[in-house]
Structure 1
Amino acid sequence: MTAEATGVRLDCDGPVATVTLCRPDVLNAQTPAMWRAMREFSRDLPGDVRVVIVRGEGRAFSAGLDLAVVGASGPDSFAELSTLPEADCADRIADLQGAFTWLHRPDVVSIAAVRGHAIGAGFQLALACDLRVLAEDAKLSMAEVTLGLVPDLAGTKRLVELVGYARALEICATGRRMDAVEADRVGLANLVVPGDELDDAVRDLAAALLAHDRDAVVEIKALLAGASGRSHAEQQRAEREAQTRQLRALAGHGE
């Protein structure tokens, strides 16, 4: 399907792929059709892609769930999901979560370029990325609670990992908005820049990632991503094993 039909597109330029939400007239509000398209992007990604940039057209990253889905009565509407058996409803949500979780892939580093609103599903999409560069006008909110819902697009674990349990609970349970200054202070932003410098800052970050050995970056991402679930001894063993693989590869003894 075309970007016009799904509201999202994938562009690849050598080792850099860009996912663009392209519904600027509604601040890139998201729909299940967009999520299905994004889930397929993982399968379409060329093998030489190392960095994935996620951005929104216009003045917002994403204002969250398109509220038309809330009030609709067709497939994937709240009304339709609420009638499903519990297991079927959970399976349907798992299918939609794939639009976000593929950005965790171990072989790429994902960067969210956030300007304006990143609300609800928009915030969770930014959290799905490994790194976040925020424009100074960014406004973040986990607003699902305001609809009587919970965040269900793989954002809760990432939020706790970044800001801790107590702050994550407060952010999610109140649905309040944070500006870029606070997001930076609590650890949600890697960088905050003026709005007119956002694209350049993201390109510079991508270039810095691409400047180094791909296998080393992949190994580093795996080490850090798994660190919270390992003991000190387990992490040290993982470091030794990763370094052994790198040394052998650099010496030409790899598989």
Structure 2
Amino acid sequence: MIEVSKEGGLWIVTINRPDKANSVTRAMLEQLADIAETAQGAQALILTGAGKVFSAGADLDEARAGLATDPVWERLSGAIAALPCLTIAALNGTLAGGAFGMALACDLRLGVPDAKFFYPVMKLGFLPQPSDPARMVALVGPSRARLVLMGGAKLTAIEALSFGLIDRIIPKETLIDDARALATDALSATPAHVAAIKAMCV
């Protein structure tokens, strides 16, 4: 359910469970974290989903069994954030719940026009993953982070762009091509050069 395509220094990682809105199980999260932890040779990594939704968050059955608060979410977002390469979340559709963490940990976020963005932890009675609020605040500011995390706001792609949650709205049919284009300069540079510039952008 997790697919990895390698094109030289470019890794494309796809969540492929469209029949379940790309909801993720613990095994899928562990696989994603393993990939992120072993992608040290990549110069750019694109994270995307199959179908109409990027990810609806935790698989419902496993969420009820404790996945919603499992530390594997934090392991995954931490591994993505620690990568020295350029990381791009190519959000092919709605981003919801715990899946926010992996997107927030990326360097860039692209969204399609009909995507929605919501993180209903207040309503569901869970705390967000530990690093997610700080990363969201860094992008959108504290008030808008509270709007999402405490007010339960469901953002449109246009709102997410205006807030700074995503960086561009891209037609779905060109989403991966546009993500590849943004990775072009990183792919033509040395890994050390990519890592050095990334380290300066904090």
Q: TM-score, normalised by structure 1?
A: 0.73
Deviations 1:195-229 (A, max 9, x none): 2221211111111332344333311211222xxxx
Q: Which residue matches 1:239?
A: none
Which structure's relative contact order is higher, taking Cα pairs within 8 Å and 6+ residues apart? Answer: 2
1:46/1:104 CA distance change after superposition, 3 Å: closer
| Counterpart in the other structure of 2:12 | 18
| Residue 50 of structure 2, aligned match among 39, 57, 61 | 57
Runs of 5+ consecutive residues of structure 1 not aligned to the other structure: 1-6, 72-76, 83-88, 226-255
Q: Of 180, 184, 189, which aligns to 2:157?
A: 180
Matched residues in 2 for 1:105 and 1:46: separation?
10
Deviations 1:64-97 (A, max 9, x none): 11111233xxxxx22xx89xxxxxx8xxx43441
Question: Is 1:202 aligned to residue 196 of structure 2?
Answer: no
1:68 aligns with 2:61: yes
TM-score for both structures, normalised by structure 2: 0.91
Q: What is the number of equivalent residue pairs in this alignment?
A: 202
Deviations 1:127-174 (A, max 9, x none): 121100111111111122221112116321110100111111121002
Distance (Å, rounded) in 1 between the aligned partners of 2:83 and 2:121: 28
The structure with more strand, counted as a fraction of residues: 2
Give 1:43 shift. 4.0
**Deviations for 1:83-136, whole angstroms, at most 9, x for unmatched residues?**
xxxxxx8xxx43441122111124211100012210012222211211001111
Over the matched positions of the two proteins, sequence identity in percent amounts to 32
Q: Contact 2:29–2:72 (CA<8 Å) still a contact in 1?
A: no
More helix by proportion, 1 or 2? Answer: 1
- The structure with more radius of gyration: 1
Aligned equivalent of 2:23, options 24, 29, 35: 29
Gap runs ≥5 in structure 2:
none
After TM superposition, the runs of 4+ consecutive aligned structure 1 residues lying more than 4 A away are none
Query: Residues of 2 paired with 1:132 and 1:46: CA distance?
Result: 20
